[in-house]
Amino acid sequence: MASVFVSGNMAAAIGARQAEVNVVAAYPITPQTSIVEYLAKFVADGELDAQTIPVESEHSAMAACIGASLAGARAFTASSSQGLALMHEPVFAAAGLRLPLVMAVANRALSHPVTIWSDHSDSMAERDSGWLQFYCETCQEVLDTIIIGYRVAEDARVLLPAMVCLDGFYLSHLSEPVSVPAIEDVRRFAPKSAPKYPILDVDDPKSIGLVISPDFFTEFVYDKHASMSMARDVTEEAFAEFERMFGRRYSHLESYRIDDAEVVLVGMGTMAGTIRVAVDGLRARGMRVGALKIKTYRPFPGEEIRRALRGARVVAVVDRAVTYGTGGIAYYDVARELVNESPHPLLLDFVAGIGGRDITVDTINRVAEQALAVSLDGRRDDVTWVDANKETLAIWGLALR
Amino acid sequence: MSLKIRDLPNEELVAPGNSGCPGCGATMGARMAMKVLGSRTIMVNGTGCMTVNYGVLAAARFPYLHMLFETTGAVLSGLDAGLRSLGKREGVTLLGWAGDGGTADIGFQSLSGAVERGHKFVYICYDNESYMNTGGQRSGVTPYGASTTTCPAGKRSIGESRPMQRRKDMVEIMAAHGIPYAATASLAFPMDYMAKVKRAAEVDGPSYVHLLSPCPPGWGSNDELTVEVSRLAVETGMWILYEVVDGERKFNKRLKTLRPITDYLKTQKRFRHLLDQPEEIEKIQSFVTKRAERLGLLG
């Protein structure tokens, strides 16, 4: 197993290379661009035997991946923000056609105002598309999750595409030492077997993508729902096998010092590491705080969430995306799992890190301090914009609640 | 062009049971195209009438993808690359099939990109000159004076008011991409049409055939007159049969004289309001006559 020092974007490209993708179709957008540049260079240098399609838009990138997948090829793309939003229509179609694509998403906020910096609003807008979604914290995790993504997506029990999300710049442009699994091992872990879904084959002609009446549409949707639910177990199997073969352990959730925690701080993506560092500091000050990272966001690991948060007095979810007028988005997924638990923890909703605002240890400390204060007097409040700037809002005549 | 009717197979790759309207030009066109392309053809069909015609009862006996409206070119690109990557490209014809909306409007970018990149496929646009699958709204190729639901003729409207010379000319646009083959075609000249489809499949690279495809419910023409309406379009000079082979233009049907355009217009309700407006008829006739003379269509 070779070790290299690479960025998150390079790790994504290496993941696709080691998975021996057949077709790469993508369109440049910051901060994703270098992923497909690296892949193009791999192909140019003979390190990857694949067809690259430098398409004229992200919409066509996804459509071309759909075409390639329907030819029976393993296809890969990557995007961010506006690009992912432009793909929205064929993103749903890929899931509906049950095509096992893998896409790296270098998370970036959606315009307007124009920004190139990170939050989760782009991938959250595709949350209900029928794609698996994994949020990564390290470059190694990006590389590994792309390989795991193919294994899970291509599993006959799943046949749904997978998004591997990495926070733009925080991870896409962060360099770390990364261990590269050997191609022979990846072949054994995620073998390219004959497609388990209908393809466009002149020797076995089928009509694909037909019109479906209300007599059947619900069942098609239910089938996707059931497969997404099944993907929880299939992904667990993949995590276990990955650990056996490569020695690195992944799980839907990663908990840190939660066993006796009064307050558990929940987050996704790169903020997870910051939260753990903050937890150590808070613990040193005598606060019983723990951390829970959600790696697998779709399918949502509900049972694991309930198990992990049983016994906590307060659960504070920190979201890097907003559902307007309400609050954080992952907050609702967590709350849904806990609402019928008895007793259930007090749930707190925090929004932070929007449009590239750094989530620092100080940000997390403020979340924890508020969560502890609330837990003492038992009050709950609306969503807390923990890092919003009161002075700026005051200029606009807005008060921060 | 030496395609003979006896060369055509009896086999019907488009099965009975399609849900097309009576007299549908698109279903006729697809049937004829598949006669020459054969069963080792994969069709990618951007959403449109054909989604309904063949997509409800799966009337195709060849691999057929019903795909999003604007994605025909991009999906063909992916199929071309995917089959190549697997060593399965040889002996397979890729056919893109979309209407004028899916080609000249919403699918324009995707088609232009696919053609520019040089993927190998045959693309046939069945042009019924508006969005007929949604009930007949104007498109970028709706002819001057046609009444559609989004440019209806009325007291203050001639119908489609864009000048005739600005109708989006897809064959010329495709030819401008430098592709080896682009052509127009008509259902009234089936051997010419099928020979063009055959040639389009034989060239190396993307090729484009633009088929005028009368739509009886949308045009207000009689179901049984689809071929006749197609013929009148050619004989009046409203529709010119030609091909562009490696940049060289050649007429496939020269005319001794032009029939008056009213012979064509009066077959269709969408033009009926023009018939009592002699100045409008004259405007269209003058454009068509001058164009034929300028191009050297006559003689």
Q: What are the pLDDT digits (tens) for B141-172?
A: 999 999 999 999 999 999 999 999 999 999 99
What pLDDT is recorded for position A375?
67
Contact across the interface for B56 and A56, Cβ inside 8 Å: no
pLDDT 10s digits, B101-145: 999 999 999 999 999 999 999 999 999 999 999 999 999 999 999
Q: Is the pLDDT of residue A364 over 80?
A: yes
The whole-angstrom distance between A327's CA and the closest CA on chain B is: 34
Query: How many pairs of residues across A and B have Cβ atoms under 8 Å apart?
Result: 157
Sort out which chain B residues have CB atoms less than 8 A from A23's CB and list them: 78, 81-82, 85
Query: Is a pLDDT exceeding 90 seen at residue B17?
Result: no
> Does the CB of B64 have a partner CB in chain A at under 8 Å?
yes
Domain count, chain B: 1
pLDDT at B55 over 90: no
Structure tokens, B220: 């207000």
In degrees, rounded to 5, the angle at the alpha carbon of residue A192 between the alpha carbons of residues A76 and A153 is 55
pLDDT for position B59? 76
The percent of residues above 90 in pLDDT, for chain A, comes to: 95
Of B62, B64, B77, the CB nearest to A55: B77
What's the rounded Cα separation, in Å, for the pair A195 and A197?
A: 5
ipTM: 0.96
Contact list in B for residue A69 (CB cut-off 8 A) is 78, 82
pLDDT of res. B90: 97
Q: Do A23 and B78 touch (CB under 8 A)?
A: yes
Mean pLDDT within B60-75:
96
DSSP secondary structure of B62-98: S-EEEE-TT-HHHHHHHHHHHHHHTT--TT-EEEEEE
* Contact with chain B for residue A72, Cβ under 8 A: yes
Are A209 and B52 within 8 A, CB to CB? no
Site from A65, A129, A202 to mutate, B interface, most B CB atoms within 10 angstroms? A202
A136 touches chain B (CB under 8 A): no
Contact B63 A23 (CB under 8 A): no
Interface touch A68/B81, C-beta < 8 Å = yes
Q: Does B58 touch chain A (CB under 8 A)?
A: yes
In the predicted structure, residue B299 carries a pLDDT above the cut 90? no
Is B22 in a helix, a strand, or coil? Answer: coil
Q: Looking at the complex, does the CB of residue B82 fall below 8 Å from at least one CB of chain A?
A: yes
- HSE (side-chain half, CA atoms, 13 Å) at B85: 29
Please state the φ and ψ torsions of residue A271, each to the nearest 5 degrees.
-65, -20
- Which band of pLDDT confidence, cut at 50, 70 and 90, is reported for residue B2? confident
| A202 with B67: Cβ contact below 8 A | no
Alpha-helix residue ranges (DSSP H) falling in A247-352: 271-284, 302-309, 330-338
Are A56 and B77 inside 8 Å of each other by CB?
Answer: no
Instruction: List the single residue in B with minimal CA-CA distance to A27.
Output: B113
Q: Is residue B232 over pLDDT 70?
A: yes
Contact with chain B for residue A40, Cβ under 8 A: no
Choose among A22, A56, A207: nearest Cβ to B64.
A207
Average pLDDT of chain A, as a whole number = 96
pLDDT at A381 over 70: no
Residue of A329, A340, A292, A316 whose CA lies nearest to A128: A329
Single-letter amino acid code for the residue at A105: V
Element at A4 (helix H, strand E): strand A2-7
Closest residue on chain A to B60 (Cα): A207
The predicted structure's pLDDT at residue B52: 85
Q: Higher pLDDT residue, A54 or B50?
A: A54
Question: Tokens for A204?
Answer: 């076995």
Q: Which of B39, B68, B112 sits opposite A202 (nearest CB)?
A: B39
Q: Residue B31 belongs to a domain with what CATH number?
A: 3.40.50.970
Q: Which residue of B has its CA nearest to A57?
A: B110
More confident residue, B54 or A103: A103
Q: Containing H/E element for A253?
A: strand A253-256
Tokens 């605002």 belong to: A357
Q: What DSSP designation does B142 have? A: P
Put simply, the chain A residues between 100 and 129 with a CB less than 8 A from any chain B CB are none
Establish if B60 touches chain A: CB-CB under 8 angstroms: yes
Could you tell me if B275 and B262 are in contact, meaning their C-beta atoms sit under 8 angstroms apart? yes
Q: CB of B44 within 8 Å of any CB in chain A?
A: yes
Interface test mutation site (partner A, options B14, B42, B106, max chain A beta carbons within 10 A): B42
- Hey, which residues does A254 pair with through a beta bridge? A293
As to burial, measured by CB atoms within 10 angstroms (0-12 exposed, 13-18 middle, 19+ buried), residue A395 is: exposed
Rounded mean pLDDT of A291-313? 97
**Confidence (pLDDT) at A377:** 65
Q: What is the pLDDT of residues A147-159, one digit of tens each?
A: 999 999 999 999 9
- Report the alpha-carbon distance of residue B71 to residue A102 in Å, rounded: 19
Strands B93-99 and B41-46: parallel
| Beta-carbon separation of A59 and B110 below 8 A | yes
**Chain B residue nearest residue A199, CA to CA:** B63
| pLDDT given for residue B53 in this prediction | 85
* Percent of chain B with pLDDT strictly greater than 70: 100
Q: How far apart are CA B162 and CA B146, in angstroms?
A: 10
Domain carrying residue B257: 5-295
- Judged by a CB distance cut-off of 8 A, whether residue B53 touches chain A is no
| CB of B297 less than 8 A from some CB of A | no
Q: Is B211:B24 a contact under the CB 8 Å cutoff?
A: no
Joined tokens for residue B132: 């007929």
Residue that is written with structure tokens 């007929």 in the block: B132
Residue B1 has pLDDT above 70, yes or no: no
Query: What pLDDT score does A327 carry?
Result: 95
pLDDT at A380: 62
Distance from CA of A98 to the nearest CA of B (A): 14
pLDDT tens column, A258-289: 999 999 999 999 999 999 999 999 999 999 99
Mean of pLDDT values over A330-337: 97
Residue A18 has pLDDT above 90, yes or no: yes
> Which two three-digit tokens encode residue A273?
């590491």
Best mutation target among A57, A59, A76, A210 (most B Cβ atoms within 10 Å) is: A210
Tokens 């398409």, residue?
A55
Query: Which domains does chain A show, CATH number per domain?
Result: 2-246 (3.40.50.970), 253-395 (3.40.50.920)
Residue B22 reports pLDDT greater than 70? yes
The answer to whether the beta carbons of residues B215 and B128 sit under 8 Å apart is: yes
The answer to whether the CB atoms of B86 and A22 lie below 8 A apart is yes
